[in-house]
């Protein structure tokens, strides 16, 4: 199938990312009791009801990630994809850990550290795989993203094509559907049945964007939207406690998930291509730094000043502070350090290729005798007849 020409940067997608991050911030600052010392239904009678569903920003992140990562791997090698992801994730993440440790050590009011070994392990971003506590609870989503990247690496190894992406959608859907009943920890860990529908739908939406929508892709998206409904009660209980499953209606969550699918679908179909506001690109750049610094730091600040500043002013001030800090991290850490890491890692990959590829190219079975040399006259004639192109081909063989 012929590919469609991809237009400019999807600015609306950047804006949607920041909106998803602010949903999570809103949930942590307004819905949770921990930063305030008691329930927030009396502090924010109306806003509290909306904030209780802000955790769905994570699901929106995963939906966007499926779209963006499928776009990112297209035409790239495993090394190139790894460099792009590692240099994107780690600079702001490292700063987020260091700032969180500093604030929590100064004011251990809503969180505490279990030891420096925990901090050191967190620097690898692999703490989710060895039962090490997260320095900040929001980091659990980063390990989910890493597992998604490993799944996409398998696709890259086989070749990123329309066909292989469709196969991934089918195999992953089956694995996620079967994982709960098969009771296989490894399958459950990588199939991620609670979050797979969002990643898979994002991939299908990108295929619509790159090629064109069709019945198969729409069927994948609708199936994932239906499967996403299965775990709403689970996510409610995880975020707000088991009592919330009976106390809260689920229709707002179902509506928000459906709305997110609709917006990303509209982006895939080009409905917002004309919107190219520069501030949306900046908004997208702030999203990740904001996410990795906002929870423990922001909740500590709220708890520390909750009796001195009116609650709405305090929340607005902390959100503004987190946005400024996110911009500073992006401008003075992510951009320079990310650029340096990309250059360094690309040099390392080039070095590996230089030391591996020649051996594979020039290897010759030991039992094969070298060809006999031609007679001098023939050799001279052959040399005269070779074009420069033939010569270059012979030299590289």
For residue 7, the model assigns a pLDDT of 53
Close Cβ partners of 235 (under 8 Å, ≥ 6 residues apart) = 55, 56, 59, 194, 253
Burial of 144 per CB tally in 10 Å (0-12, 13-18, 19+): middle
Q: Is the dihedral of CA 311, 317, 318, 319 positive or negative?
A: positive
How would you write 23-83 as a 3-class SS string? HHHHHHHHHCCCCCCCCCCCCCCCHHHHHCCCCHHHHHHHHHHHHHHHHHHCCCCHHHHHH
Token pair 């700063």: residue? 95
Distance between CA atoms of residues 201 and 219, nearest Å = 10
Q: Tell me 282's DSSP state.
A: H
64-110 tens-digit pLDDT: 999 999 999 999 999 999 999 999 999 999 999 999 999 999 999 99
- What pLDDT digit, counting tens, does each position of 180-226 carry? 999 899 999 999 999 999 999 999 999 999 999 999 999 999 999 99
27, 296 in Cβ contact below 8 A?
no
pTM over 0.85: yes
- Neighbouring residues of 179: CB distance < 8 A, sequence distance ≥ 6: 187, 188, 191, 193
Instruction: Print pLDDT tens along the chain (397 aa).
Output: 666 655 557 999 999 999 999 999 999 999 999 999 999 999 999 999 999 999 999 999 999 999 999 999 999 999 999 999 999 999 999 999 999 999 999 999 999 988 899 999 999 999 999 989 999 999 999 999 999 999 999 999 999 999 999 999 999 999 999 999 998 999 999 999 999 999 999 999 999 999 999 999 999 999 999 999 999 999 999 999 999 999 999 999 999 999 999 999 999 999 999 999 999 999 999 999 999 999 999 999 999 999 999 999 999 999 999 999 999 999 999 999 999 999 999 999 999 988 886 555 544 555 555 555 554 443 333 333 333 333 333 333 3
Q: Residues 6 or more apart from 67 whose CB is under 8 A from it?
A: 13, 202, 203, 205, 206, 209, 264, 267, 268
Question: Phi and psi at residue 122, in whole multiples of 5°?
Answer: -60, -30
Distance of alpha carbon 199 from alpha carbon 173, whole angstroms: 10
Distance CA 264, CA 378 (A): 67
Could you give the CA distance from residue 397 to residue 386 in angstroms, rounded to a whole number? 15
Taking the C-alpha atoms of residue 102 and residue 313, their distance in angstroms, rounded to an integer, is 24
Interatomic CA distance for residues 36 and 27, integer angstroms:
13
């Amino acid at each position: 199938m012929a590919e469609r020409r991809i237009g400019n940067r999807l600015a609306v997608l950047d804006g949607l990312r920041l909106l998803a991050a602010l949903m999570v911030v809103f949930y942590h600052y307004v819905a949770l009791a921990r930063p305030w010392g008691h329930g927030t239904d009396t502090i924010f009678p109306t806003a509290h009801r909306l904030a209780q569903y802000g955790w769905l920003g994570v699901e929106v992140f995963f939906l966007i990630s499926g779209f963006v990562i499928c776009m990112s791997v297209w035409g790239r090698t495993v090394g190139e994809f790894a460099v792009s992801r590692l240099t994107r994730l780690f600079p702001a993440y490292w700063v987020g850990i260091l700032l969180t440790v500093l604030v929590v050590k100064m004011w251990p009011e809503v969180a505490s550290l279990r030891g420096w070994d925990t901090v050191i392990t967190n620097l690898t971003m692999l703490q989710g795989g060895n039962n090490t506590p997260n320095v900040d609870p929001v980091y659990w989503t980063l390990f989910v993203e890493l597992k998604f990247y490993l799944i996409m690496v398998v696709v890259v190894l086989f070749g990123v094509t329309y066909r292989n992406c469709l196969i991934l959608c089918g195999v992953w859907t089956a694995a996620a559907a079967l994982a709960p009943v098969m009771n296989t920890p490894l399958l459950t860990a990588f199939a991620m049945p609670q979050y797979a529908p969002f990643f898979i739908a994002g991939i299908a939406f990108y295929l619509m964007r790159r090629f064109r929508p069709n019945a198969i892709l729409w069927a994948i998206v609708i199936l994932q939207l239906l499967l996403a409904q299965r775990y709403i009660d689970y996510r409610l209980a995880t975020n707000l406690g088991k009592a919330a499953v009976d106390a809260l209606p689920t229709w707002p969550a179902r509506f928000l998930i459906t709305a997110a699918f609709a917006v990303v679908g509209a982006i895939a179909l080009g409905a917002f291509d004309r919107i190219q506001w520069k501030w949306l690109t900046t908004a997208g750049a702030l999203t990740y730094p904001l996410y990795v610094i906002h929870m423990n730091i922001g909740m500590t600040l709220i708890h520390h000043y909750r009796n001195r500043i009116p609650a709405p002013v305090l929340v607005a001030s902390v959100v503004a502070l987190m946005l400024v800090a996110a911009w500073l991290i992006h401008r003075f850490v992510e951009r320079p350090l990310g650029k340096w890491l990309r250059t360094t890692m690309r040099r390392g990959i080039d070095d590996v290729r230089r030391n591996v590829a020649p051996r594979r190219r020039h290897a010759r079975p030991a039992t094969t005798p070298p060809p006999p040399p031609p007679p001098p006259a023939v050799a001279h004639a052959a040399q005269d007849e070779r074009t420069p192109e033939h010569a270059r081909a012979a030299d590289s063989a």
